[in-house]
Every structure is written in structure tokens, then in C-alpha cells.
Structure 1
């Protein structure tokens, strides 16, 4: 779940520096920063109880996700008229030569090696299909709620800065490192037509999907809601 949902407004205008006070930076975060500067190997530590885990999620329950799901507005999908990925600018800078893609690769990988801000080595296990990838260029950073799906469920009415924040959202469980094959198979589909091949990850995927749609106040279709409810039953 998000690190600090209360710190950001739903208009999406938030400074990445404002999300976590400097005094609250964890040892693991400091290690990542040092690693990026020195070009060394970065291995995420184990999170403390109640803190976000290595994928940016915090402990939650299926019951809480089900309550969030029930509160979402059910609506038919909107028109794709006017949609383009260019209306969701990404990847946003996160300082120096770093960008959001670098940040997710560092967060989700193990034994990550960097050269400046560039991730040049490491290992990533795709949560969608369980594949292990050891080449950064072969890792896709997926939007859990696809940009086109967001457009159909409310983002078409947002400003470009709002859509940019959505596309670069490191606060919520919206970005995840996955295999290229699984990302392309998913496309812009919702859980009623595509689910991760790794069934053991359905619970987490449904919780993440619901958390993002809840935070950004996006709608769901009736079929999407039913599929998410079924997936939460696997928790």
C-alpha cells in the first residue's frame, strides 16, 4: 500500500521530496542512495513490521481491500477518444540522472548494481509469471492499472500534470518490475480478461489494483469488480 497516502492530494500534485520527511528515511533508503552515488551493489534490507515492503506495499488485509472495492464506483468504460500514452508523461526525474524506472529497478531487484544512476546489473523475479530476469534492459516496469484503463475509468478528465503523477506513482503499488512477455500479454486489460499466470500472486495483484483505483478515485466495471472479488478470495 502507499507509503503516505495522507501526504498527497487527489489532484496528483505532489513533490516526490514531500512524500517522506528526511528524518523518516529508512536505513534501506539511505543504502540505495549511497549505492546509486558510489556505483556499488545494492541489496534491499528486510522491512520493519508495518513498513512498506520491497515493492512499496504495506501490510494490509483482504478484508480491507474488499471494503475499498465495495466503495468504488461501478460504471461502464469510457471512450478511448483522444487517448495517447503521451498524455501520461513518464518516466519522471527523481534527481541527478535518475528517473522513476531506475527507482523501481533498484527497489524491486536483488544484488542491484549501478553506475551512477543507471542500473547495470542485478536480478528481478517477475511477480506476474515467476520468471527470473538478470538483464535490466529485459525488465519492463508495468503500470498495475494500465494507462489506457485509467483513461477509460476517469483519467480522461484529468489535467496532463495529474496524469503524469499517476504514470510515475511511486507512492501507491502502481509500478512493478515484470517480464516483458507478461507485460505485453496483459496490455491494457483489467482483471476480468487478464490475470497473472502465477495464481499465487492473485491476492496481491487484486489488492494492489484496488488500492490504486481507490486512491486515484477511478471507476471499475461490473465484470472487473466481480473478478477482483474472486481474486481476493484467494488471499
Structure 2
């Protein structure tokens, strides 16, 4: 009896340590690891402060760069965001950046399908695990650019962490990634200008996080990227606060626009001049007094006839004619209304 109980206890212990139990706990461990660093990317204001504090220097040792200096491929064995979570770095990027995800049943790290809304171009790129894809994983600050900006002096472990840091990586369009290569913002910017603000924030946050230098043209280009943050925020803020409100850093440069004032329904008094026959006919048509002076005495005969056709044809128009220093009135024949000819 005692031997039977001992066998049952041993079987239960072995079942608790089975691979099935490990598979069930793996997803919880993976979900506990964040796929983005704290407070990254920085806000536009924070990025401007970080950019001002970066060391300005020209690139060095560009001729000694080798991709293998940053490790052989992807690695999960780093302390960077997304590290040591049991998933491949590229899979982490896809799970973070793609929408409409379908993950593997046996291995939830693997993305079977999804859709990328490419930040650089705005394209919608489908992804399938078993088909060739137009999606690549881009280092925002390319490895070559990081090498020239100071990574040449790092330890191998720090370079490996940089290459696998999810804050440095983005899923992007393959062709656009080829065009970007290892260029800095003074030589390449995203084709989609709506992404300039976040691209500048990411670039500055990465440089500040790893203490990399910036060249003088690069710093000017990044400042231009960050300036687009205010331009993008101003229309949204004005729409939220309503018309007639100045918002944003460049508010002093924005012309206040508001709804046009409503016109007074009562006629204003004209300081001088008389009332033409055209205006008089128009007022009689509308049942208004014909002697009131208003800004409208210059209404032409054709306009009065169009606005009041019943009186326009029978009215005799009177137009002042100047002869030398004396003005006299010349009588004109009645108007004959003709329907205007319009082309389509």
C-alpha cells in the first residue's frame, strides 16, 4: 500500500515538470517583458533638450566598420528592451509593429500573418510567414552610423545590445530601407513627411540613450524634424479649441481667422451722392423707399434688371452725363431683357 502511494506521488511530480506545463507558462513569461523602453520615444520638448546636450563631432573610423562587430544576427541574450524573453528579436518587432496578428499555436513568438502600416511611406504591407515579404527590420540609427558616432569604442556586449534593442528597431518597407541604408537625417528623411516628428524623436532618443555624437549637418536636420512636431500639433489644437484661437509655439506667426461678421440687415447711409434709377426700380420691386441713400447707388442697369425683372423692362434709365463743367441728364430708351447665354 505504501509502495503504491509512493508511485502515485512520483508520477504526479513528473507530470508537473513535463514540457506541457512549461509550454503553458511560457506565454506569461513572454508577455511580462515589455517590447518598448520606458518613456520612449521622448516627447518633442524632451527630444529638443536631449539634442542640445549631444556632443557635436564628425564621424570617425568609418573605414573600419564591419557588421559582425555588432554580433552574428539576432540575439535574445541582452538586457535591452525585449531581451531575454525567449523570442527572436525580429519576431518581437513584428509582434509589436504589425496589426491583425495571427500567432503560432505551439510557439506564440512566431507571427504567422499580419499587416504593416509602414511608418516611412504609409503603405499597407501584408505579411505571411510562408511567403516572401516586403517587410524588413530597420535600425533607425543604422549600425554603420552608430559606429561612426562612437560605437567603434564600445565593448562587444554593448554593441550586441544596441543591435537588438527594440527601441532602435522598426518594421519598414524593404525598398525604402535599402534607400535609407546608413544615412543620417541630413542625407535621408522618410518620404512620408507626417512621420518626420516621430522619426526625429526616435533618432534623438537613441543617440541620447547610447551617448552617440551628431555631426553639425545632422544636428540641423534633426532640429528640422523636431520643428515639424509643432507644425503638426497646431492644426489639431486649433480644431480642438475651435476657430479664433491661437495655439502652438508659432502662434505669433499665425493669422487669426474667425467667421466673417454678420452683415447688418439695415441699409447704411451713404455720405454723398444720389440714388440712381436702377436702385430706385430695385427698391420699388422690393417694396422699399426709393429716396433712402445707401451704398448701392452704383448698381448697374443690367444688375437691377436681373434682380427685378418685372420693373427692369419698363423702366426708363437715367444716367448723368458730364459735358465740360456742366452735368445734364440724358434719357435712355427702355431696356430689353435678354436671357443670358451660358455655356456648359
Instruction: Answer yes or no: same fold by TM over 0.5.
Output: yes
Counterpart of 2:111 in structure 1 is 119
Q: Does the 8 Å CA contact 2:42/2:202 hold for their aligned counterparts? A: no
Shift of 1:81: 2.8
Displacement over 3 Å in runs of 4+: 52-60, 94-97
Tell me by how many angstroms 1:202 deviates. 0.2
Report the counterpart of residue 16 of structure 1 in structure 2.
Answer: none
Superposed CA deviations along residues 80-109 of structure 1, whole A, max 9, x for unmatched, are: 232111111231135686211000100011
- Quick one: higher RCO (CA 8 Å, sep 6+), 1 or 2? 1
Aligned length: 188
Deviation at 1:159, TM superposition (A): 1.4
Q: After TM superposition, list the pairs within 5 Å mapping 1:21-170 onto structure 2.
A: 33=27, 58=40, 60-89=42-71, 90-93=73-76, 98-115=87-104, 116=107, 117-136=109-128, 137-170=133-166
Are the counterparts in 2 of residues 55 and 108 from structure 1 also a CA contact under 8 Å?
Answer: no
2:326 match: none
Q: Deviations over 1:49-90 (max 9, x none)?
A: xxx998986474322111100000000111223211111123
Cα deviation code 1:176-232 (max 9, x no counterpart):
110101111100000000000000000000000000000100000000000000111
Q: 2:201 aligns with which of 204, 207, 214?
A: 207
Local SS of the residue matching 1:134: strand
**For the residues of structure 2 that align with 1:62 and 1:95, how far apart are their CA atoms?**
31
State the distance in 1 between where 2:123 and 2:192 align.
Answer: 10
1:102-134 per-position Cα deviation (integer Å, ceiling 9, x unaligned)? 001000111211221321100111101111111
SS in 2 for 1:135: strand
- Separation in 2 of the partners of 1:194 and 1:138? 20
> In structure 2, do the counterparts of structure 1 residues 121 and 68 end up closer, same or farther at CA, with 3 Å as the change threshold?
same
Aligned to 1:42: none
CA distance in 2, matches of 1:154, 1:95: 26
Which residue is equivalent to 1:46?
none
Unaligned runs of 5+ in 2: 1-25, 77-82, 230-344
Equivalent residue for 1:184, pick from 175, 178, 187: 178
Q: Which has the larger radius of gyration?
A: 2
Distance 1:69 1:202 in 2: 15
- What is the Cα-based RMSD across aligned positions, in Å? 2.6
Do the aligned residues in 1 keep the contact of 2:61 with 2:148 (CA within 8 Å)?
yes
**Are the counterparts in 2 of residues 55 and 107 from structure 1 also a CA contact under 8 Å?**
no
The secondary structure found in structure 2 opposite 1:64 is: helix
- Show the counterpart of 2:224: 230
Q: Distance in 2 between matches of 1:130 and 1:96?
A: 30
2:228 counterpart SS class: coil
